[in-house]
Each structure stands twice: as structure tokens, then as C-alpha cells.
Amino acid sequence: MTDEASQDAATRIADTGRQVVAAAETLADLAVLETTLLGKKSELSLARRSLGSMEPDQRKEAGAAFNATREALGDAIEARRAELADAELRATLDAEALDLTRYVEPVERGHVHPVTATRERLEDIFVGLGFEVVEGPNLETDWFNFGALNIPAHHPARGMHDTFHLDVGEPGEYVLRTHTSPVQIRHMRAVTAHRGGPPIYAVMPGRVYRNERTDATHLAALHQLEGLVIDRQITLGHLEGTIDTFIRAYFGSEFETRFRPSYFPFTEPSAEVDMRVPGGEWLEIAGCGMVHPTVLRNGGIDPEEWSGFAFGFGIDRLAKMRHDVSDIREFVANDVRFLSQF
């Protein structure tokens, strides 16, 4: 081949080569094309063999032309390879994509039970006031549930608690707790043992049990929230301020409270708390009082040094009042039409 013929060949090989490379549709086709265009048996390689028979000057120019073609084809192949690889990846991703929503029946979202939500809201209010949240067991001994709270055997106050007695231990030894007040004793003892004593600022929520007929205002398994504060020089004023603050935080700042003298064996003096919107009806919502010295002693705390107050109310009852539910049994009937309103 002459120098001119070689240059023509180089140009033609480059042009046709670029066209077939651009037309390649798969990576596999491109790999075959690469061998055909640049391999040992390619037209380009064969044409280069004629370089050996040329004059040095001509060989130089023809060689440069072949090299340029080789480079141009190499670049074209790499560019096409990148395009095809990208397209094939996209196709794979599209083919393998999973739309999980296509296989799931739409379900309604649930939410926490209104009594649980109430309990959490109450806990939040008291935590905001600096109280800790403490829990105790539902299965109690007679002593923690009654005796330690200044309610000895045959005390008339036991008649107010219709108790579920359990068929374990000595007869009468175990009960399902009838109130959260025994957690006061457990917590006082724990604080004395582990922190060396008061101060105590705690609320104790949980389920309690009453062996009685249920009606629109009574449940046999209900929830209470107990409060206990023990510190130096705690007075009735602190008790009233705490209850008032909490009622207004939970029901609204327009609510007011009043305290009526009452009787509980574990507090002295004792009171019942009523609340209302101004001009409205007074509703009884809690029992409370200054912790009885005997109760402090049973909790391992010296009544000469410390004093405090306690209170207890029904969580379900508060939820009932706040949401204006006419029958408290709705909370345990598990009717979604009722529950979904909250």
C-alpha cells in the first residue's frame, strides 16, 4: 500500500467503525465489535502490516494515521460502553423495583387507648412539676394494701374496699390491690433504703381492682394515680397548690377546686377535692390529706423530722370527665367506633 492509500484506508476504517460502534445495542455486541475493529485480525491490524514495506517518511505519516484511527475507535468504544452500561443498570433497576404498597391492603392506623393517653398526660404534668413516676405490684399482701396504711384487720374502712382475695399463701395473705396507696409504703421504704430517706416527690399510676358490680361510673378493674410528697415542713397549702395546679393543667385554667373535710385512715387531716368550671356543678375528683404519722413510720420515715401529703384519684374517671363520656364502661368495651373518636 502507498502512503496515500494507507491514509484513505485509515479514514474509512475510522468512519465505518464509529458508525457500527454507535449502532451497537448491547455490551455483549460491543465486546464482539471491539475484537472485530481492533483485534489482531481486524482490517486495521492487517493494514498496518503494509507499513513495513514503506519508505521511512511515508511510514511515519501512514503510521500516525493508523494510530489516530486506533485511538478514535478506542474512544468511541469506551463512550458507547459507558452509555450501554448505564442503560442496562437502569433497565435492571426498573425491572427489579418492588412497589410494596401494591401488595398491602390499606389498614387504618391505631393509636393509644384513651385511658393510656390520659395516664401519660397526667404523668407528663407531674414530671413537669418535678415528680418521679413509680410503679408497684398489682398482687399485694394484705399488710401493704391495708395494715401499713393504718387499716388493721376488722377496721370499718375495709368495708369500703370490696376486695378480691387470692387463693395463695396463708388465707387472707394476698389480695389484688384495691388502690395504689400501698405503693406509697413501698416507695418510702425504697427511698429510705437506697437514698437514705426523703425528700420524695412521686406519682404512682397503675391498675387497681374492686370486687363490685360495674355500672356507668364504676369499673371492677380501674386505674388510679397516687401522689406522695414527703419533705421538711410540708403543709396543707402545698397540697392545695399542687392539686389546683394539676387540675388546671389537665382540664383548663378556668377550672377551680375546693377541699372538703373527709376521712381516710392513712391521712390526717383528710379531704376530698371537688372541681368545677365557674358557675358549674362541683364534681368530686380525688381524696387527699397529710400523711398519717403511723404511715410514715411504716414507710421507715421519722414523723418528727418529715411531713408530707398524699392524694389519689381515678384515671378512667378523669378521662370520662374530660372527654364527656357518659358510661365509663365504654373504655373497656373495645368498640372501635368508640375508641376511634379519641
Q: Which of 203, 311, 320, 331 binds ligand DAH (CB under 6 A)?
A: 311
Question: Radius of gyration (Cα) for the chain, nearest Å?
Answer: 43
- In the chain, the amino acid numbered 92 is T
CA distances in angstroms from 330 to 282, 313, 318, listed in the order given: 24, 19, 14
Q: What DSSP designation does 220 have? A: S
* Beta-carbon-side half-sphere exposure of residue 183 (alpha carbons within 13 Å): 29
288 near ligand DAH, judged by CB under 6 A: yes
Q: Which of 265, 287, 299, 308 binds ligand DAH (CB under 6 A)?
A: 287
CB of 140 to ligand DAH, least distance (A): 12
Q: Where are the beta strands (DSSP E) in 220-282?
A: 221-231, 256-264, 267-276
CB of 157 to ligand DAH, least distance (A): 9
C-beta closer to ligand DAH: residue 242 or 267: 267
Residues 6, 66 contacting (CB under 8 angstroms): yes
| Span of 58-66, 131-139, 215-223, 286-294 interacting with ligand DAH by CB under 6 A | 286-294
Secondary structure class of 286 (helix, strand, coil): strand
Residues 321, 285 contacting (CB under 8 angstroms): yes
Q: Which residues fall within 8 angstroms of residue 262, CB to CB, at 6 or more apart?
A: 270, 271, 272, 287, 289
Nearest to 289 by CA among 150, 126, 128: 150
Q: Summarize the annotated binding site for Mg(2+) as residue ranges.
A: 268
Binding footprint of ligand DAH, residue count (CB under 6 A):
11
310 near ligand DAH, judged by CB under 6 A: yes
d(CA 78, CA 70): 12
Per-residue contact string for residues 263-282; x = within reach of ligand DAH by CB under 6 A: -x--x---------------
Q: Summarize the annotated binding site as residue ranges.
A: 268
Residues 167-226 that bind ligand DAH (CB under 6 A): 179, 181, 226
Per-residue contact string for residues 19-48; x = within reach of ligand DAH by CB under 6 A: ------------------------------
308 near ligand DAH, judged by CB under 6 A: no
145 near ligand DAH, judged by CB under 6 A: no
Residues that bind ligand DAH (CB under 6 A): 179, 181, 226, 264, 267, 287-289, 310-312
